[in-house]
């Protein structure tokens, strides 16, 4: 039986979100679910244009408040044009990052007032939150090494590099990791922390078990 479900993947750089989203999506399609995968910032032409403005190495020197506004402008488009319509037609939507990334990166990482962020996000999407969130947890030094290896591979095929945040100091990445863990503590029912240092198959198994119990699909 098809069910709608909104799943988000969160975590620091190189935590394995994209890899695990592809694996979960294939598994759910095998189970007969209709799946829509997307990413933040991005997922609509307008939001992809905002992504180009903000995540590239040579993007401007945005202040954290300007970043929050840009990420939320992109988010409004994604929610209204992609996520809500898909959920209304019983699809599973999986997003690479969502609201929690803004709290972790701009709130904990850039040390913006969390109440300001909450107010802006409420204005943007009201009370719309994911049904299920995976926080892929990894020591930032290890995650950044993985990202470096991936970006080194991409350098030869892309004429642009989306590494603006990878280049922030290590302390920034440590703060945002703690931010994600704090969010998980505060929203324990929605958020599941996954040990992302395990091998790929073990991470996938942890995620599948939780999704299975939520969707009640066959093991």
- Residue 35 vs 98, nearer CB to ligand T5A: 98
3-class secondary structure, 165 = coil
Instruction: Assess 41 for contact with ligand T5A (CB under 6 A).
Output: yes
Asked if 150 interacts with ligand T5A (CB under 6 A), we say yes
* 50 contributes a contact to ligand T5A by CB under 6 A: no
13 forms part of the interface with ligand T5A (CB under 6 A): yes
- 134 near ligand T5A, judged by CB under 6 A: no
Number of residues forming the site for ligand T5A (CB under 6 A): 27
DSSP string, 53-65: HHSSTT-----HH
CA distances from 79 to 40, 126, 207 (A): 11, 11, 24
Residues 176 and 12: beta-carbon distance below 8 Å: yes
| Cα 193 to Cα 83, 91, 179, 184, 200, distances in angstroms | 23, 24, 12, 7, 15
Rg of the chain over Cα atoms, rounded to whole angstroms, equals: 17
Please report whether residue 174 would count as binding ligand T5A according to CB under 6 A: no
Q: Which of 5, 37, 40, 172 binds ligand T5A (CB under 6 A)?
A: 40
Give the number of other CB atoms < 10 A from CB of residue 15.
28
Q: Which of residues 181-210 bind ligand T5A (CB under 6 A)?
A: 196, 199-200, 203
Rule CB under 6 A: is residue 102 a binding residue for ligand T5A?
yes
> Cα–Cα distance between 146 and 142 in angstroms, integer?
6
Structural contact between residues 40 and 9, judged by C-beta atoms closer than 8 angstroms: no
161 interacts with ligand T5A by CB under 6 A:
no
Pick between residue 76 and residue 217 the one whose CB is nearest to ligand T5A.
Answer: 76
Q: Which of 7, 10, 14, 44 binds ligand T5A (CB under 6 A)?
A: 14
Interaction of residue 71 with ligand T5A, rule CB under 6 A: yes
Which residues make up the interface to ligand T5A (CB under 6 A)? 11, 13-19, 40-41, 55, 71, 96-97, 101-102, 105-106, 146-147, 149-150, 165, 196, 199-200, 203
């Amino acid at each position: 039986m098809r069910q709608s479900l909104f799943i988000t993947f969160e975590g620091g750089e190189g935590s394995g979100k994209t890899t695990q989203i592809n694996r979960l999506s294939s598994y759910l399609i095998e189970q007969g679910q209709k799946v829509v995968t997307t990413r933040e910032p991005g997922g609509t032409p307008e939001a992809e244009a905002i992504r180009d403005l903000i995540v590239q190495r040579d993007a401007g020197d945005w202040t954290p408040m300007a970043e929050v506004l840009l990420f939320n402008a992109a988010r409004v488009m994604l929610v209204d044009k992609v996520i809500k319509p898909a959920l209304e037609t019983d699809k599973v939507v999986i997003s690479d990052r969502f609201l929690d990334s803004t709290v972790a990166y701009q709130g904990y990482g850039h040390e913006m007032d969390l109440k300001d962020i909450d107010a802006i996000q409420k204005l943007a999407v009201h009370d719309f939150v994911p049904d299920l969130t995976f926080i892929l947890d990894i020591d930032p030094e290890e995650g950044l090494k993985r990202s470096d290896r991936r970006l080194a591979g991409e350098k030869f095929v892309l004429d642009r590099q989306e590494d603006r945040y990878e280049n922030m100091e290590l302390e920034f990445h440590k703060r945002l990791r703690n931010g994600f863990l704090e969010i998980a503590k505060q929203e324990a029912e929605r958020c599941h922390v996954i040990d992302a240092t395990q091998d790929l198959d073990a991470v996938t198994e942890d995620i599948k078990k939780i999704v299975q119990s939520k969707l009640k699909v066959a093991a």
